[in-house]
Amino acid sequence: MSEVTKIILIRHGQTEWNLIGRWQGFADIPLNETGQAQAEALQTRLAAWQIDAFVSSDLKRANETAVIAAKPHNLTVKTDPIWRERDVGDFSGLNRQQVKEKFPEIWGKAINGILEPPNGEQYQDLQKRALNALRSVIDSNAGSIVAVVTHGQLIHVLLAQIMGIEQGKYGRFSMRGNTGISIIENLKDNPIVTRLNDTAHLDY
C-alpha cells in the first residue's frame, strides 16, 4: 500500500439551476441533460485511472455524477452528507441580482466576496466542515486513491485552506466548469494540491 493518500475532488455536473445562475445549497436539484453528458465525459476520462473508492455528497447532482463516473470501475458509491454544498439558507433559489435586491445590507457587507446567507451555514463553519470531510476520507482510506464528487463552494473553501490562502479572502481561483477535477495528495499528514479544476474532458 502506498504511503500517499490521493483524493480526486470532482465538482458535480450541470443542473438547471447552475445554468440560470440560482443559488442551490441544500436544494436537491438533479443533473440536466448537459450535466449528464458532462458526467459521461468524466466517466471516459477516469476510466483508465486507478481509483479504489468513490464517495459523493448525498445530493442528487453529486450522486448522479458519481454513479456515472464509477461504472467502469465497478465500484459502489458511498454517500456522505458531510460533502454537501454549503447551506445557503434564504439565498436558495435566488439568482445574484435577486440576492442583491432582497438582501442589500448583507450584499453591502460582503468582504472579499464572502456572503453570510440568513439562516444558512456560516463561512467559518463551512471551512471546518470541509477540513473534517477531508480528514474523514483520509483516515478511512489511508494509502488509497479516492474519488469524491462534491460541490463548488466546498471544494473552493477546502483547497484555499490547503494552499494557505489567507482566511477571509474568497475567489483567488475559480471552480467554474462542472465536473472539474482537483487532486489532493496527502503524505505524512501534509496535504498538497497537485491539480486544480481540470476540465480537459469537456473540450469537445
Report, as residue numbers or ranges, the catalytic residues.
12, 85
Phi, psi torsion values for 185, nearest 5 degrees: -115, 130
Q: Whole-angstrom Cα distance, residue 73 to residue 101?
A: 47
Judging by DSSP bridges, how do beta strands 145-150 and 53-56 pair with one another?
parallel
Judging by DSSP bridges, how do beta strands 181-186 and 191-198 pair with one another?
antiparallel
Using CA atoms, how far residue 88 sits from 24, 67, 113, 197, 199, in Å, is 7, 25, 14, 23, 26
Cell numbers standing for residue 193? 494540491
Backbone dihedral region for residue 87 (phi beyond 0: left; psi -120 to 50: alpha; all else: beta)? beta
181 three-class SS:
strand
